[in-house]
C-alpha cells in the first residue's frame, strides 16, 4: 500500500559544517547493481567528465537517506547525492557526501524514500493541454461520456459567447459507440458555429452553421486525404476526419481565437506535468509558426518550468517551402528549449489507420501523405541535420514511414540520424527488423491498450488487436523505446498510468493484450527516462543521475519497484527538482 507521507519543510535544513557533524547520518552500504535484461545498450549515455568538487567547495544541496535509482548503465543504486550549479556532482552514500556539505548547503533527508531521474514525456502536446478548459471547452472522456453531458458543457459556453462567434470544444471519444454529429450540436447552437475535436485530435464534429460557413455540401468533394462523413442522401453529417478536412473549418477561426492566450497555453500546463514527475517534454505537434515563435520566446524569457523540445508539424507538401530556414531564423536554444526537427502524420485516427488488409473502421487504405511527398519532407529535414517524427498507426503506415526514412538515409548517409516513429501501433515482422536496422526510435504509449484496446478489437479484429504495441519484440531486437503520454490525446496524462500499462497490458474491459509483450518496471522506467533522453539526443545531459548531468529528479511517495503493477496508478510525487531547483513539493 502506498504511503502518503510528503516531504515537509522540516526536511530542508541549512546546515553548517559543525551542524552536520552533530547530525546522525547513517553510513550507506556500497553501491549495488541490479541486473536487467532486454534494454538497449546505453552506449554514449555517460555525461562528459566533470571535475569533482574542489576541497572546501560546498554543494548547493545534498540528498541523503534515500533509495536512489540512478538509471545509469550498471543500474547503480545509492543512498545520497550532491548537487552544485544545477548538476549532479557526486553519487554515493552519506559518508561520501559529508565532505561537500557547507554552511549554506541544503540537506534533504528522504527518510528512505525512492528517487529516480525526472521522467521524460517523449510525445505530448503541451500547448494543446493548455487549450483545454480555456479556448476549448473540456469535454474529455471519461469525465464526459454522454451526449447530454457534452451538450450541457457546450451550451454553457455558448450562452456566454456573442452571437456568431466560434465555440470550440475538445476531448470526446465516442458517445454510446458512435461519433457526435451536427444533429447533436444543432439544438444547442443555432446561432454559433461550433467545432468539437476528438480526444485523439484526428476527428471532429461541426454543426450545420459551421458547414454552411465553410461551404461544405453534398457536392463538396472530400479534401485530399480528409473525409466529410455523410448521410444516406450524401449530405455531410457534421463528422469530419483527418486534418485536411478539419482545416476547412479551422481556417475560418479568427486568428485571436488561438493566438491571444498562446503563451499561457504553453506555460500553464507545465506545473501539472512537474507535479506528476515529468521534468522534460517533447511536443511533437507544434503546428504553425506563431506557436513555434511562442515556444522560443517563452524559453528566451526564462519562463519555462520544465525542459522542452519541439518538432514543427507539416500537414501539406506546400508548407515545406522555406519552412526550415524560417524556423531556424526564430529558434532559440538553451537547457530548457530545443528544436529537434519536423513531424508528419502518415495516417490519422485509428478508424482510418492505413493497413495492408481491410478493417472495420471508416477507411483502411487511406494515407494522409502521398509517398513521394512524404519522402521529400523527410529528406529535407534529414539533409538539414534534423530528426523527423512520423505518426503511424497502421502497419502500412509504418512501412511507408520506414520507406521515407530509408530513402533519406540512402540518398544522404550521415551517422545516427535517429529518426522516430510515433505510436507504431501495428507492425509486420519485416517492419520490426527494419526499425532496428535503420536505428529508428519508437515513441510509444502503452496506455493506448488500456484506453482503446477494446475499440481496436472492433476495428482491426482480435488477431491484429493482440499484435498492437509490441514492446517486448522491440526490446528483444534492441530497438530504442521512449515512453510518453500523448497528452491530451489520451485520457490519462500521468507517467504512473504509462508505467502500469507497460506492464499490465489490459484493456478497460480487463481483456489481456499479448501479456508476453509486457515490459518490466525497470525497462519501463528506463524507457521513460534514458529512452526519452536518447530520443532527443540528450542522453549525455539527462535521463540518469550521474555526475555531470542535470539534477533533474523526483521523489516518489512509495517505491515503484516494490509495489504491485496496478498500485503504480496510486503513486504520487512528493518532490520534483529540475536543475537542482524545487519546482513541485507536497
Per-residue model confidence (pLDDT) at position 20: 32
pLDDT in tens, 37-78: 333 444 456 677 787 787 778 999 999 999 999 999 999 999
User: Residue 268 carries which DSSP code?
Assistant: T
470 and 340, same domain (yes or no): yes
In a domain, 3, yes or no: no
In a domain, 558, yes or no: no
Question: Which helix (H) or strand (E) segment is 484 a member of?
Answer: none
pLDDT in tens, 456-470: 999 999 999 999 999
pLDDT at 551 > cutoff 70: yes
In a domain, 559, yes or no: no
User: Residue 370 carries which DSSP code?
Assistant: -
Number of domains in the chain: 3
447 and 501, same domain (yes or no): yes
187 and 208, same domain (yes or no): yes
Taking a C-beta distance cutoff of 8 angstroms, is the pair 345, 368 a contact? yes
Which domain-ending residue is among 257, 285, 304? 257
352 and 392, same domain (yes or no): yes
Per-residue model confidence (pLDDT) at position 6: 46
Give the integer Cα–Cα distance in Å for 78 and 65: 9
In a domain, 561, yes or no: no
Mean per-residue pLDDT of the chain: 91
342 and 413, same domain (yes or no): yes
Per-residue model confidence (pLDDT) at position 44: 53
494 and 444, same domain (yes or no): yes
Domain with 348, as residue range(s), is 261-542
Question: Which helix (H) or strand (E) segment is 2 a member of?
Answer: none
Residue 63 belongs to domain with CATH number: 2.30.40.10
User: Residue 114 carries which DSSP code?
Assistant: E
Per-residue model confidence (pLDDT) at position 225: 86
78 and 144, same domain (yes or no): no
In a domain, 2, yes or no: no
In a domain, 26, yes or no: yes
Give the integer Cα–Cα distance in Å for 193 and 203: 17
Closest CA to 127 of 383, 489, 450: 489
**Confidence (pTM):** 0.91
Per-residue model confidence (pLDDT) at position 41: 41
In a domain, 566, yes or no: no
68 and 110, same domain (yes or no): yes
In a domain, 127, yes or no: no
388 and 443, same domain (yes or no): yes
Is residue 91 classed as helix, strand or coil in its secondary structure?
strand
Residue 337 belongs to domain with CATH number: 3.20.20.140
Residues facing residue 392 across a β-bridge: 423
149 and 104, same domain (yes or no): no
218 and 104, same domain (yes or no): no
Closest CA to 448 of 149, 199, 84, 139: 199
Residue 143 belongs to domain with CATH number: 3.10.310.70
pLDDT at 7 > cutoff 90: no
Taking a C-beta distance cutoff of 8 angstroms, is the pair 147, 187 a contact? no
pLDDT at 478 > cutoff 50: yes
Amino acid at each position: 500500500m502506498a504511503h502518503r507521507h510528503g516531504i515537509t519543510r522540516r526536511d530542508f535544513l541549512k546546515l553548517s559544517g559543525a551542524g552536520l557533524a552533530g547530525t546522525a547520518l547513517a553510513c550507506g552500504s556500497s553501491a549495488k547493481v541490479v541486473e536487467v535484461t532486454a534494454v538497449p545498450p546505453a552506449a554514449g549515455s555517460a555525461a562528459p567528465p566533470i571535475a569533482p568538487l574542489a576541497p572546501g567547495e560546498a554543494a548547493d544541496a545534498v540528498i541523503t537517506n534515500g533509495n536512489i535509482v540512478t538509471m545509469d548503465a550498471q543500474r547503480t543504486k545509492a543512498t545520497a547525492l550532491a548537487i552544485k550549479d544545477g548538476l549532479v556532482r557526486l553519487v554515493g552514500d552519506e559518508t561520501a557526501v559529508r565532505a561537500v556539505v557547507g554552511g549554506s548547503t541544503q540537506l534533504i533527508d528522504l527518510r528512505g524514500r525512492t528517487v529516480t531521474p525526472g521522467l521524460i514525456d517523449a510525445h505530448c502536446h503541451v500547448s494543446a493541454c493548455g487549450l483545454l478548459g480555456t479556448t476549448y471547452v473540456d469535454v474529455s472522456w471519461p469525465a464526459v461520456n454522454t451526449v447530454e453531458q457534452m451538450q450541457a458543457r457546450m451550451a454553457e459556453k455558448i450562452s456566454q459567447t456573442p452571437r456568431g462567434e466560434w465555440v470550440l470544444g475538445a476531448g470526446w471519444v465516442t458517445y454510446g459507440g458512435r461519433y457526435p454529429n451536427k444533429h447533436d450540436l444543432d439544438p444547442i447552437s443555432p446561432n454559433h458555429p461550433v467545432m468539437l475535436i476528438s480526444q485523439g485530435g484526428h476527428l471532429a464534429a461541426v454543426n450545420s452553421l459551421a458547414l454552411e460557413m465553410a461551404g461544405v455540401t453534398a457536392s463538396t468533394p472530400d479534401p485530399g486525404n480528409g473525409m466529410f462523413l455523410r448521410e444516406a442522401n450524401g449530405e455531410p453529417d457534421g463528422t469530419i476526419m483527418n486534418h485536411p478536412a478539419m482545416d476547412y473549418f479551422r481556417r475560418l477561426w479568427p486568428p485571436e481565437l488561438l493566438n491571444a492566450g498562446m503563451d499561457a497555453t504553453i506555460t500553464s500546463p507545465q506545473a501539472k506535468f512537474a507535479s506528476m514527475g515529468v521534468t522534460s517534454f517533447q511536443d511533437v505537434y507544434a503546428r504553425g509558426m506563431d506557436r513555434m515563435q511562442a515556444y522560443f520566446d517563452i524559453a528566451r524569457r526564462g519562463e519555462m518550468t520544465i525542459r522542452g523540445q519541439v518538432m514543427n508539424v507539416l500537414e501539406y507538401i506546400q508548407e515545406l517551402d522555406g519552412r526550415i530556414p524560417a524556423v531556424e531564423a526564430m529558434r532559440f536554444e538553451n537547457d530548457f528549449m530545443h528544436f529537434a526537427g519536423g513531424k508528419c502524420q502518415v495516417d490519422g485516427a485509428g478508424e482510418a489507420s492505413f493497413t495492408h488488409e481491410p478493417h472495420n473502421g471508416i477507411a483502411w487504405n487511406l494515407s494522409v501523405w502521398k509517398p513521394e511527398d512524404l519522402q521529400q519532407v523527410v529528406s529535407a529535414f534529414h539533409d538539414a541535420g534534423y530528426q523527423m517524427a512520423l505518426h503511424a498507426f497502421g502497419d502500412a503506415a509504418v512501412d511507408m514511414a520506414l520507406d521515407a526514412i530509408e530513402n533519406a538515409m540512402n540518398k544522404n548517409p550521415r551517422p545516427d540520424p535517429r529518426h522516430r516513429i510515433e505510436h507504431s501501433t501495428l507492425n509486420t515482422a519485416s517492419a520490426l527488423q527494419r526499425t532496428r536496422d535503420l536505428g529508428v526510435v519508437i515513441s510509444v504509449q502503452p496506455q493506448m491498450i488500456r484506453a482503446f484496446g477494446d475499440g481496436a478489437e472492433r476495428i482491426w479484429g482480435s488477431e491484429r488487436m493482440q499484435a498492437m504495441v509490441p514492446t517486448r519484440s522491440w526490446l528483444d531486437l534492441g530497438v530504442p523505446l521512449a515512453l510518453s503520454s500523448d497528452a491530451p490525446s489520451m485520457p490519462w496524462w500521468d507517467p504512473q498510468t504509462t508505467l502500469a500499462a507497460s506492464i499490465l497490458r489490459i484493456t478497460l474491459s480487463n481483456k489481456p493484450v499479448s501479456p508476453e509483450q509486457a515490459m518490466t518496471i525497470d525497462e519501463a522506467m528506463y524507457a521513460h527516462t534514458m529512452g526519452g533522453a536518447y530520443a532527443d539526443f540528450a542522453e549525455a545531459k539527462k535521463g540518469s543521475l550521474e555526475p555531470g548531468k542535470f539534477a533533474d529528479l523526483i521523489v516518489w511517495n512509495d517505491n515503484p519497484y516494490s509495489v504491485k503493477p496496478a498500485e503504480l496508478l496510486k503513486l504520487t510525487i512528493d518532490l520534483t527538482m529540475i536543475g537542482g531547483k524545487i519546482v513541485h513539493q507536497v
